[in-house]
Structure 1
């Protein structure tokens, strides 16, 4: 085996699909690309998300305590990367990238109609933000576009390359310990 630097762990343990995070601060919506997130628990559904001070959205998330996590599919790959390469402090990303929005039910941040799914979230714990830029979010509502035919998601490898979801391997019949979960 060949040793690689420990700093490259994210190449092997990517946290899940690339997502878009919308916020609304003082009536102005914004969207950012996020790659560092993880499920923390089932109930209540908690999601850990890294949104650092380098992200224009961090201030909005800190001050409003709410956001939407939108899950794009591979047909939006180039837009997802381009959103991550500009800042909402100088660009209206919704206009620039032709993003269609819908109002959310529980939060002021908009849903992204271009995406497969949207998760309305509220900050459940921000005690790790100053140290690790880690927000703990609680999912409040989930919206999915069941008519959408493209469902393959992007997984960032940390170096500008992405993996794309492939075939589904269904082993649910073997997951006997977890059947009681909703």
Structure 2
């Protein structure tokens, strides 16, 4: 039988590497008519109906003030072909760089929010901020998806997942267990 003495303690400051919260996403905002995009690795689904998404964006992020002021954004989901751009977008600030121009991203007008979609991404989710009670303490915005789009020309989505140390994994083969989801059939 295994005991705690057989295990190796993991540093608490690296727990995020064990429990990755969601795919790496791009978050677009628009403030005073100027669009911006940031890389985000701390996000999660909170609820199915209404579709609520948690996203950590702090005052150190240039997009923070736009999100606070406008109360809206777009979550764009890149695939592995954008991996280098996704990392490079996260290494600079929209305060200094027009990231759409710098990284050859195509802004597409959204229908429900002012922030743009990103044409090169597999999916785009238009969101409105619905709860800011955790922003002051945890920089956690609760967003409600108000419109979602996918690009059918993408043959297979391969989302990026940051491992917390500069390495990434990509989604692989899907395992279909729909027939076992007895309790959750309404989600299929």
For normalisation by structure 1, the TM-score amounts to: 0.98
Aligned position for 2:65: 59
Aligned counterpart for 1:40 among listed residues 17, 22, 46: 46
Aligned counterpart for 1:126 among listed residues 125, 132, 147: 132
Which structure has the bigger radius of gyration?
2
Q: Secondary structure at the match of 2:13?
A: helix
Aligned position for 1:73: 79
Q: How does 1:65-144 map to 2 (within 5 A)?
A: 65-144=71-150
Aligned counterpart for 1:21 among listed residues 23, 27, 33: 27
CA distance in 1, matches of 2:15, 2:177: 27
Q: Which runs of 5+ in 1 are unaligned?
A: none
- Offset at 1:147? 1.3
Structure 1 ranges of 4+ moved more than 2 A: none
State the Cα deviation string for residues 115-166 of structure 1 (Å, max 9, x = none). Answer: 0000000001011101100000000000000111241110001110001111
Q: Secondary structure at the match of 1:127?
A: coil
CA distance in 2, matches of 1:18, 1:126: 22
- Offset at 1:92? 0.3
CA distance in 1, matches of 2:164, 2:105: 25
Segment of structure 1 superposing worse, 1-10 or 120-129: 1-10
* Aligned length in residues: 182
Q: Which runs of 5+ in 2 are unaligned?
A: 1-6
CA distance in 2, matches of 1:31, 1:175: 37
- Offset at 1:89? 0.3
